[in-house]
Amino acid sequence: MDCDEETPSSSNAIEDKIEYEAFKSPVCLIVLGMAGSGKTTFVSKLNSYLKQYKRAPYLINLDPACKNMPYTPNIDIRDSVKYKQVMKNYGLGPNGAIVTSLNLYTTKFHQLMDLLGKVNDENSHDIAVIDTPGQIEVFTWSASGQILTESLASTFPTIVVYVMDLERSTSPITFMSNMLYACSVLYKTKLPFIVVLNKCDIVDPTYAIEWMHDFETFCDALENESSYMSNLTRTMALTLDEFYNELKCVPVSSFTGHNFDEFFKMVDVAADEFQKEYRVEWDKLRKEKLQTEISQLNKKLDDLAVSSGKGEHVPLFTSISAGREISDIYLAPNADEMSGDSEGEEVPGFNVNGKYSFNYFK
């Protein structure tokens, strides 16, 4: 059987294996949000809730600058990358060092994927939670965010959880800034998306829900704003109207644990959505990537077959100064023309084939 006949069957076997493993894989929750929105506190309460009512989650911390960790992660970026050392070595500020630390960490991200694969094999956890830093630009334009989301989504059911601070978003302009970030992350990752309206124990979440579903109510709130930003915000609200229609949002309290049961109902729905809709697209992208790698490998093999192991002729000299012949360079001079050489003495030199040899002169 030749290679062309073997490839399809091998490809089908790999696809069947991937499909079986993906069905049993833990659901990965990538927790994003602005700095101070309560992501780490949310992950901590989520961990407590799951331990009490279900199975403990597999926790991954990707914030290299976090000092006080309210939970014990299974994988911690701080064990691999020293944030302050990155600042010192590369002469970076705090934000730049966090982004660089994640970029460095993603060079070994395949090892994290291997550990998650063991979780799948042992069937020890139903959910894996990835806590991220507040520098949300990591997931809007940095390569590390794209590598992280694509690596997870190509193997495991993956959901993006965007944590929004209700207390800091009571201003329509701030609220719109948050929604624009959420929208950019949604279209960048192309994954099931849940907006968590955090701190509902402090601020009533009704205003945020109304602003998302009623454009007129949002415009009324903007009447008190007289700056140029209010006009821009009003225009953006019209643009995001379709985004709001398909958005899943749930108010929760990371302090009291309020509404976490509703959150996990949304997680179940989003996981099913991933398997039925998103996974088809990710499988397609994965096949295209695999096909590209196979094509590149076949091209290298073809190039090797054509060359047959023969090297190219490389001249020792590419140019000769004026007044000299090629024989003056490749052929050794006579003995009487060499100062300090006695008759019949062995003199090293190069032959016309460019190999090291000895010439004898009498």
Confidence at residue 278, expressed as pLDDT on a 0 to 100 scale: 80
Indicate the helix (H) or strand (E) that contains 118. helix 109-122
Determine which of 14-18, 72-76, 249-253 has the lowest per-residue pLDDT on average: 14-18
What residue spans define the domains of the chain? 24-287
The amino acid occupying position 243 is F
Confidence at residue 121, expressed as pLDDT on a 0 to 100 scale: 85
316 vs 268, which has greater pLDDT? 268
Answer whether residue 344 shows pLDDT above 60.
no
Beta 58-61 vs 158-165: how paired, if at all? Answer: unpaired
Beta 27-33 vs 158-165: how paired, if at all? Answer: parallel
Topology at the third CATH level for domain 24-287: Rossmann fold (3.40.50)
R_g of the chain, CA atoms, integer Å: 32
Q: How many Cβ atoms are within 10 Å of 63's Cβ, its own excluded?
A: 22
Answer whether residue 266 shows pLDDT above 50.
yes
Report how far residue 98's alpha carbon sits from residue 77's, in angstroms, rounded to the nearest whole number. 11
Q: Do residues 275 and 283 touch, judged by C-beta distance below 8 A?
A: no
Answer whether residue 348 shows pLDDT above 80.
no
3-state secondary structure labels for all residues of 1-23: CCHHHHHHHHHHHHHHHHHHHHH
Alpha helical stretches, state H, 248-311: 260-273, 279-307
Residue 324's SS3 state is coil
pLDDT in tens, 95-127: 899 999 999 999 888 899 899 988 888 888 999
Best mean pLDDT range from 107-121, 155-169, 219-233, 327-341: 155-169
Average pLDDT, the chain: 80
Q: How many Cβ atoms are within 10 Å of 44's Cβ, its own excluded?
A: 18
Q: Do residues 120 and 25 touch, judged by C-beta distance below 8 A?
A: yes
pLDDT in tens, 167-190: 999 999 999 989 989 988 988 888
Answer whether residue 138 shows pLDDT above 80.
yes
Report how far residue 362's alpha carbon sits from residue 345's, in angstroms, rounded to the nearest whole number. 8
pLDDT average, residue stretch 345-351 = 46
Provide the pLDDT confidence category of residue 25 given band limits of 50, 70 and 90. confident
Answer whether residue 327 shows pLDDT above 70.
no
Phi then psi for 187, rounded to 5 degrees?
A: -75, -20
pTM: 0.73
Phi then psi for 228, rounded to 5 degrees?
A: -60, -30
Per DSSP, 65 falls in state T
